[in-house]
Amino acid sequence: MELFTRNDIRNIAIIAHVDHGKTTLVDAMLKQSHVFRDNEQVEERVMDSNDLEKERGITILSKNTSISYNGVKVNIVDTPGHADFGGEVERVLKMVDSVILVVDSYEGAMPQTKFVLKKALELKLKPIVVINKIDKPNARSEEVIDEVFDLFVELGADDEQLDFPIVYASAKGGYAKKELSDADENMIPLFDTVIKNVKAPTGYIDKPLQLLVTTIDYNEYVGRIGIGKIERGEIKKNQQVSVLGRDGSKKNVKISNLYVYSGLKREEVEVAKLGDIVAVAGIPDINIGETIADTSCPEALPFVEIDEPTLSMYFMVNNSPFAGQEGDFVTSRQVRDRLFKELETNVSLKIEETDSADSFKVSGRGELHLSILIETMRREGYEFQVSKPSVIYHEENGVKLEPIEFLTIDVPEEFMGVVMEKLGPRKAEMINMTSAVNGYTRLEFKIPARGLIGFRNEFMTDTKGNGIMNHVFDSYEPYKGDIPERTRGSIVAFEMGEAVTYGLFNAQERGRLFITPGTKVYEGMVAGECSRAEDIDVNVCKKKQLTNTRSSGADEALKLVPAVQMSLEQCIEFIASDEYVEVTPENIRMRKSILDSTERKRASRKK
């Protein structure tokens, strides 16, 4: 039995910080390897196929594709950049033999660059560094390479990993080059670098099959599809195989369909061998981390440990007066089934049942991770309500530990004071401050994860939209003490009805409003933010009394300040611990957990 090398295949993943151009780079590689017909209409960022990905311009789920170059098939996995989807990145790296680390030629190494690179180095992968966006007017490619090299050293890269190849590219311009002085032509220098530096898959082709499932997909015709790389042997269509669970279980099944990736399409094949990335159908309840093996020699492969969730929130059945009016799926059974279905593909999520049949505790990697799940369910027709997110504490030797995030902020100098002032009460500890280019300053902090809840909103307002903030999980440290909650109260609707201009005009003197005339409201619904610390009940449905001295025409003179449009994330950040966000396919509303104002007062007195 001798080792076999598949020289006709290379497997790579593309990793980077958010917005450094991973998906655009894959676009350029696909276009130049003639995956598309000459007359085919190709959209931008073709890999971001899900609606939410297109709208936000971010990658949420990892995707597989492949290109052919000089007779070699290169399988490419595009991964997310946000820390909240780190679970996607961690397991996908098990499928590949190298990574392309994309770094923005101006922003340089960012928190997420460090996070994804650390995962790749731990798996002993040897990265290729692509300095992207070299056509930016303020590009500083040479300095960025020094930053990346320092990062490799800091993360304990070995000598072989430190000797990384460098390619300069403009994914948008569709060219790559070995030296900055070369001509801007095409992506061939990058293809050449990949073929030359990525190890070809090596292993035993004549030993029994082993395949680790790292991703799950779903198709209406064939059901669940397990995706992974063949580590040993070969696999055939209609073959009997053993599926080995992570808990040591074993079951025998028959594979109905076998696919490989060709461009963006799946191609059905009869047989696939060592080193191929394949999609396998016919196993109804296949899960991530399971091994598909030969029945004569069932040996499981080790699975990557996924980082633990840091935030949790409660998903509950909607019980507001408007419950059941807008959603298709409203019962606790429907919400429960949908949440447990999400567990099948979303490995860094955790779901626990509570004492109440109508409430579920959902834990994830961060606010974005959870809000994407909420938004996805809302679009599928689910109606439910969620609580304020809270962090997950650990206990070690009787000491209470909490998750600490590493926060990087880039702001123009004039806003530095206000940002640092706001981070003080949130228990942030400043580690570093460097003056970046263009009048921006980079501030680095360690901050408890609870201190970040609700901060992004304030930060964007304080910096007039000019600040950039990024954070990534750092470690668990002893509890840092209390952090004050929101400093302002809510404006709460006083009765059921429809908001009118007259009622809102009287309410707007008390703070900023979130609703417009014509909005249907109910008692206990949050209509705005109060300018003082306590909540205030306001009758927003109050009409003007018409008498013979008051004409109805005088109403036209009332001028309303435009209402603040709150996104789902902003609502989740805004609510206090005694409030919920009600989510339906048509509306997002905020409400008090106790709707009746008298009962609310009674409850707060008991506290």
DSSP secondary structure of 83-104:
GGGHHHHHHHGGG-SEEEEEEE
Total domains in the chain come to 4
Answer yes or no: do 116 and 228 share one domain.
Answer: no
Answer yes or no: do 460 and 573 share one domain.
Answer: no
Answer yes or no: do 228 and 152 share one domain.
Answer: no
Nearest to 10 by CA among 229, 168, 212: 229
Q: What is the CATH number of the domain that holds 287?
A: 2.40.30.10
- For residues 272 and 75, what is the distance between their CA atoms, to the nearest angstrom? 14
Number of H helices, E strands in the chain: 15, 37
Strand partners, 202: 5
Task: Return the beta strands (E) in 505-598 as ranges.
Answer: 511-513, 520-521, 526-530, 536-538, 579-583, 588-592
User: Does some domain include residue 229?
Assistant: yes
Residue-range definition of the domain harbouring residue 133: 4-202
User: Does some domain include residue 331?
Assistant: no
Q: What is residue 58's three-state secondary structure?
A: coil
Answer yes or no: do 274 and 231 share one domain.
Answer: yes
Nearest to 114 by CA among 163, 161, 87, 81: 81
Decide: residue 259, CB within 10 A, 0-12 exposed, 13-18 middle, 19+ buried.
Answer: buried
Question: For tokens 């890269």, what's the residue?
Answer: 157
Answer yes or no: do 94 and 132 share one domain.
Answer: yes
Q: Which of 142, 171, 202 is where one domain is finished?
A: 202
Answer yes or no: do 455 and 598 share one domain.
Answer: no
User: Does some domain include residue 353?
Assistant: no
- For residues 144 and 387, what is the distance between their CA atoms, to the nearest angstrom? 42
User: Does some domain include residue 518?
Assistant: yes
Residue 265 main-chain phi, psi, to 5 deg: -105, 155
Q: What is residue 536's three-state secondary structure?
A: strand
Judge contact between 225 and 106, C-beta under 8 A. no
Nearest to 522 by CA among 540, 505, 506, 509: 540
Nearest to 362 by CA among 343, 381, 377, 380: 343
69's CB contacts (< 8 A; 6+ apart) are 33, 191, 195
Question: For tokens 């926060």, what's the residue?
Answer: 407
User: Does some domain include residue 483?
Assistant: no
Cα–Cα–Cα angle for 454, 471, 385, rounded to 5 degrees: 40
Answer yes or no: do 78 and 20 share one domain.
Answer: yes
Query: Tokens standing for 76?
Result: 């490419």
User: Does some domain include residue 22?
Assistant: yes
Query: Tokens standing for 458?
Result: 């304030």
Decide: residue 483, CB within 10 A, 0-12 exposed, 13-18 middle, 19+ buried.
Answer: middle
Strand partners, 312: 363, 390
Residue 63's pLDDT is: 58
Q: For residues 485-523, b (16+ Cβ closer than 10 Å) or e, as one string?
A: ebebbbbbbbeebebbbbbbbebbebbebbbebebbbbb
The phi-psi region of residue 486 (left if phi > 0; otherwise alpha if psi is between -120 and 50; otherwise beta) is: beta
Q: What is the CATH number of the domain that holds 421?
A: 3.30.70.240
Judge contact between 507 and 527, C-beta under 8 A. yes
Residue 13's pLDDT is: 86
* Residue numbers in the chain where pLDDT is lower than 50: 35-50, 52-61, 81, 83-84
Nearest to 327 by CA among 386, 387, 380: 380
Cα–Cα–Cα angle for 391, 395, 399, rounded to 5 degrees: 110
Answer yes or no: do 459 and 499 share one domain.
Answer: no
| Predicted structure pTM score | 0.70
Q: What is the CATH number of the domain that holds 55?
A: 3.40.50.300
- For residues 342 and 351, what is the distance between their CA atoms, to the nearest angstrom? 9
Render 311-364 in DSSP notation, one character per residue: EEEEEEE--STTTTSS-SB-SHHHHHHHHHHHHHH-TT-EEEE-SSTTEEEEEE
Answer yes or no: do 23 and 172 share one domain.
Answer: yes
Judge contact between 155 and 121, C-beta under 8 A. yes
Answer yes or no: do 450 and 505 share one domain.
Answer: no
- For residues 194 and 12, what is the distance between their CA atoms, to the nearest angstrom? 8
- Residues annotated within a binding site: 19-24, 132-135
Question: For tokens 């930053």, what's the residue?
Answer: 147
Is the Cα torsion angle 89, 90, 95, 101 positive or negative in sign?
positive
Q: Which of 167, 186, 202 is where one domain is finished?
A: 202
Q: What is residue 31's three-state secondary structure?
A: helix
User: Does some domain include residue 316?
Assistant: no
User: Does some domain include residue 567?
Assistant: yes
- For residues 571 and 588, what is the distance between their CA atoms, to the nearest angstrom? 8
- Residues annotated within a binding site for GTP: 19-24, 132-135
Q: Which of 294, 329, 360 is where one domain is finished?
A: 294
HSE value, Cβ hemisphere, 13 Å, CA-based, for 278: 27
Length, in residues, of the chain: 607
Question: Residue 341 is which amino acid?
Answer: K
Write out the H or E segment, with its range, that includes residue 479.
Answer: none
Judge contact between 240 and 320, C-beta under 8 A. no
Residue 584's pLDDT is: 93
Residue 198's pLDDT is: 86
Answer yes or no: do 119 and 268 share one domain.
Answer: no
Cα–Cα–Cα angle for 323, 324, 328, rounded to 5 degrees: 145
Residue 415 main-chain phi, psi, to 5 deg: -100, 0
CB atoms within 10 A of CB 139: 19
The DSSP output letter for 222 is: T
Nearest to 520 by CA among 544, 538, 502, 540: 540
Query: Tokens standing for 205?
Result: 């082709």
Q: What is residue 514's three-state secondary structure?
A: coil
Judge contact between 176 and 168, C-beta under 8 A. yes
CB atoms within 10 A of CB 547: 7
